[in-house]
A and B are shown apart, each in its own frame.
Chain A
Amino acid sequence: MTVTDAPKIVTSRLGYDDSHTLERYLATGGYEGLRKALSMTPEDVAKEVDAVSLLGRGGAGFPAGRKWSMLRKAPTSYLVVNGDESEPATFKDHLLIERDPHQLVEGVVIACYALQVTTAFIYIRGEFALGLERVTAAVNDAYGHGAIGRDIFGSGFSIDIVVHPGAGAYICGEETALLESLEGKRGFPRIKPPYFPAAIGLYGEPTVVNNVETLSNLPWVLSNGSAAFTALGEGRSTGTRLFALAGHVKNPGVYEVEMVKTTFRDLIYAPVLGGGIPGGRELKAFIPGGASAPWFGPDQVELPLGQDEVGAAGSMLGSGSVVVMDDSTCVVRAAWRITRFFWRESCGQCTPCREGSGWLEKILRRIEDGEGRESDLELLMDISDNLAPGVSWPPQQTTICVLGSSIPSSIASAIRMFRDEFLLHIKDGSCPQGPAPHG
């Protein structure tokens, strides 16, 4: 087992109880990256970020530098920070928002400078009441410190930051739904074409949407230089990444580990990380990158935590959440619960997603309750095919956003990996793991 001693890039301050305060932030090198950035030209800052291959941490893994370079040139443009973190079992941004808000604020100002945008909005999931309070306080303090507002640190650069609360809707994590929500509307994802945010974003102006963790890397990158960042990881997956480890492990939590150099086995079993599965149970399956990701089995635990490596194996690192299921887990129930999530969170625009999600949920629940039929497996796959033609990876889409095409992932994985268990439910008319309560 190899847990590298890579530096902590985004979690360096979390050992302090007062990590969220300006005092602690300044005492630990805070706002130095911004000062450095302001001494450079915006183009050079953008180049520096492009050079580190900072893969987006929100789920799609698109390199931040490339994304920035696609921003349409216009007098008015925006940076919107995606702090809506609602992907099941993902809780890393939550940590950064509550525990190191200044790091986020500094990252935002650096990005604003590189992009020369007009205003930044930090959209934070409404349920993060404490996070909202802390980021608001950080913004207030940063104003006082001269790190936001007019003529930042005497550089002549000015920017305003508005902290915006969400109100409880997973879909608002999808970047165009987030923009709609920020405009005061329902979180209906926009159709693409033409609403690619870089071209037509917030209020119709070009907009960059970046994830909280993505931006939280920037102060370190600027302070330490791109070479220090690219020295970590391998290939396109450079630096470190936060992984939210949940489910059947001894130490669930968020871990910052070096990319590629660390494997799923390390993450789940290393004593300083997940600590293994409690109760001496065996690993049955794990979800490598959020509810939308296809599942992996014990065979894949040696895979390195690298974007391309996991992609090649048929799934994704996605939002950086790893859910471990031990051998006591009923996979029908697990698939049902994830499908239930998508059903409850579908925005309701697209017919296949709106109606298909509920239909799939009802079938899975019926199977779990022992009322399944053999034809149900075929039906599940066929409905899935209408959401993601071919039910392959990466999925094809019949819907406006990828929520719809993500729904089949867990169902198809569960059926593919544990067909017999489904059939057992159907044959026995009950769940082999015994009845478990559900809502």
Chain B
Amino acid sequence: MTQSHLAPEVMARARDIVALYPHPRSALIPLCHLAQEQDGWLRPEAMAEIAELVGITPAEVLGTASFYDMLHTEEVGTYVVTLCTNIACMLRGAYELLHHAEESLGIRTGSTTADGVFTLEDAECLADCGRAPCLQVNHRFFGDVSPEGFDKIVDDLRAGRLADEVPHHGTLVRTERDGGLRVEAETITAERRATAAAMAERAATAAAASEAKANG
């Protein structure tokens, strides 16, 4: 009756994701990513729909989503630039880079440029310390970033030169799993049960045989 906030094709993907798990709630985080892919951030309307999809309350969806750094319950820019400032990057100039980024974008860490294009964040270790200091734009890595390198990334993004590498914020995985569960957990459980029973029976037969041998 009322139109759903998630677009029909997004809804269809959402249902596929729910079907991957033995319990619907497990799909919560993947669905939040999906909603971010549609909207760029996690809108309340989306959370309410996710709640329905996985069978919990909206408060529980928010409670879970707000725990995670990558799920934004407030609007963010098209590009979320995340600089690592943890120890390995710090030792190689991360804070200097962060300051440069603030000046260059004209915003403080944690905020979004007035044109809504860039959000700047400082992050904990992004696990790319071999190329410290490193950063991510919408979770795509850039390593060994110098202040000049930073400006170039920003220019390239603005000019659309990185459109292939860096999708809009929220798009996490562009490769989709093809198909739902190939093997239902229940089938496997039944199979495992049968295997266990067969093994037990084999063991029992073997024991009986060896006993018979010992006796006779």
Mark A residues whose CB is within 8 Å of B. 73, 75-76, 85-91, 93-94, 116, 118-119, 125-130, 132-134, 136-137, 139-140, 143, 148-150, 158-160, 162-170, 181-187, 203, 244-248, 252-254, 287, 291, 321, 323, 325, 329, 333-334, 337-338, 341, 344-345, 347, 436-439
Contacts and interface: CB of A to CB of B under 8 A. Distances in A.
Nearest to A187: B67
Given A140-B178, A149-B182, A150-B182, A165 B68 contact: no
B213 interface: no
A185 B124 CA distance: 21
Interface of B: 20-30, 32-33, 54, 56, 63-65, 67-71, 85-88, 90-92, 95-96, 98-99, 109, 122, 124-132, 136, 138-141, 172-179, 181-183, 185, 187-189, 191-193, 195-196
Contacts of B56: 184
A166 B28 CA distance: 10
A143 B128 contact: no
29 contacts: A86-B127, A87-B125, A90-B125, A90-B127, A91-B129, A126-B33, A126-B70, A133-B174, A136-B173, A143-B179, A160-B183, A164-B26, A164-B29, A165-B172, A168-B70, A169-B67, A169-B68, A183-B26, A184-B24, A184-B28, A185-B28, A246-B130, A246-B132, A247-B92, A254-B130, A334-B91, A337-B86, A437-B95, A437-B99
Contacts, number: 215
A163 B27 CA distance: 11
B63 A439 contact: no
A158 B188 contact: yes
A439 B95 contact: yes
Given A75-B196, A341-B86, A439-B85, A160 B188 contact: yes
Contacts of A128: 127, 139
Contacts of B177: 136, 139-140, 163
Most B CB within 10 A of own CB, among A88, A127, A291, A338: A127
A376 B124 CA distance: 26
Contacts of A162: 20-21, 181
B67 A129 contact: no
A334 B28 CA distance: 36
Given A160-B188, A186-B64, A247-B92, 10 more contacts: A89-B125, A127-B136, A143-B178, A166-B70, A185-B64, A203-B22, A246-B88, A437-B95, A437-B98, A439-B122
